[in-house]
Amino acid sequence: DLLQGNQDLDEMEEQRRKGIKYCTLSEEDVKNISEVYVSQALDYDCSGETPIMGGLYDPHMGPANDTLICLTCYGNFRKCQGHYGYLHLVEPVYHVGYLTMVEGILKCICKECSRILLNNDICTNYLKKMKGGTIKKDPNGRSFLYHNDTILYPDMALFLLKEMVDEDRELLCVSEKPEKLFISTISVPPLAVRPSLPLNLRLAREDYLTERLKKIIKANEILTKHVKEYVIKQRDLDSPIYKRAYENLQFEVDQYMNSDDQQGQPLPAGLVQRLRGKQGRIRGTLSRKNVNYSGRTVISPDPYLKITEVRHLSFASYT
């Protein structure tokens, strides 16, 4: 047993992690963590009791009520923690969290050839200074702007970023793939994250995320129809109907991600509102100190104390 224990320690030593890298999820990553493809905005069938396969209440994402079971883990309403689905968009849209980054990159490159707005000698000089050296902000640096009346839709912006060469990406410190800065596949949260509130035997109030996902699916269906009609058949990318449908899909995805209103009007919470702030999931639920019939000290704890011990009050006079 001792020999086996030493071997286990050696294996653990070899598998020790060197670091953690934070990155955005790609389209393949979203599909890998998902269990079902969501393609319909409908919830239940005509009876109002059976969820529709491929809908927002698909049983593969978890049971919608206590009378159903999950078709992924076969757990009931209390045991199943939920599973993700995914929704594919016919055209990519801007990610509201990376919009400032994408805008900054587009200001620095040409809208015709995707090359950075600097000559080769200056680019080479900057790259030599960046490799292995210290990077700091130049107080006399200039901003490069490209003025044009043409609106850059997400599909065109994504094409420009994909055409960038590796040297320009390194100069602009763009380490992620360009397609990760846009949204082409939306991760649909499990039913446990967006539960419905029963009102009576026949009706239930849906969660705000479910309502937004319905609008995204409908906007995606309308844009799919216009893509087939104006883009594929007529080759008309400047059609106002197509552009209006594209902008509508972008708006619905933005409201799903971040529902903040610039006019200050209160709106239901989107994904950003549910995570950030004191009332968010991280600070308000995961990190908060929920206790029952107990108290806590305000002085720094001793690392040698047990969890059930509290240092004598005289210790505080020496700290």
Which positions ≥6 away from 216 have C-beta within 8 Å?
87, 186, 249, 252, 253, 256
Nearest Cα to Cα of residue 98 among 187, 179, 219, 209: 179
Sheet with 34-37: strands ordered across? 34-37, 84-94, 182-188
8 A C-beta contact, residue 59 and residue 75: no
For residue 23, the model assigns a pLDDT of 79
Separation CA 108–CA 145 (nearest Å): 7
Question: Nearest Cα to 56, choosing from 34, 76, 72, 41?
Answer: 41
SS3 assignment, position 184 = strand
For the record, the structure tokens of 289 come out as: 């100190």
Q: What is the pLDDT of residue 220?
A: 92
- Cα separation, 175 vs 94, in Å, equals 18
**Residue 310: both structure tokens together:** 């509290």
pTM above 0.75, yes or no: no
What per-residue confidence (pLDDT) applies to 213? 92
Predicted pLDDT of residue 214: 92
To which residue do tokens 């844009």 refer? Answer: 223
Domains of the chain, by residue range, sit at 99-127+143-181
8-state DSSP, 315: G
Is the CB of residue 140 less than 8 Å from the CB of residue 87?
no
Residue 304 CA, chain-centre distance (Å), reads 41
Using an 8 Å Cβ cutoff, are 113 and 92 in contact? no
> Residue 136, Cβ neighbours under 10 Å: how many?
6
Find the angle CA(218)-CA(221)-CA(222) to the nearest 5 degrees: 90
Antiparallel, parallel or unpaired: β 34-37 and 84-94: parallel
Question: What is the predicted pLDDT for the residue at 138?
Answer: 40
Instruction: Give the span between the Cα atoms of 48 and 65, in whole angstroms.
Output: 12
Task: At 156, list the tokens.
Answer: 């065109």
| Packing angle of the helix pair 208-226, 240-257 (nearest 10 deg) | 160
Q: Block means of pLDDT (10 residues each) for the chain, length 319 residues?
A: 49 67 84 90 77 88 86 88 91 87 82 76 60 42 42 84 82 77 90 76 75 92 83 70 88 86 66 80 69 57 73 57
- Of the chain, the percentage scoring pLDDT greater than 90 comes to 9
Nearest to 58 by CA among 77, 29, 36, 74: 36
Tell me how far apart the alpha carbons of residues 119 and 135 are, in angstroms, rounded to a whole number. 20
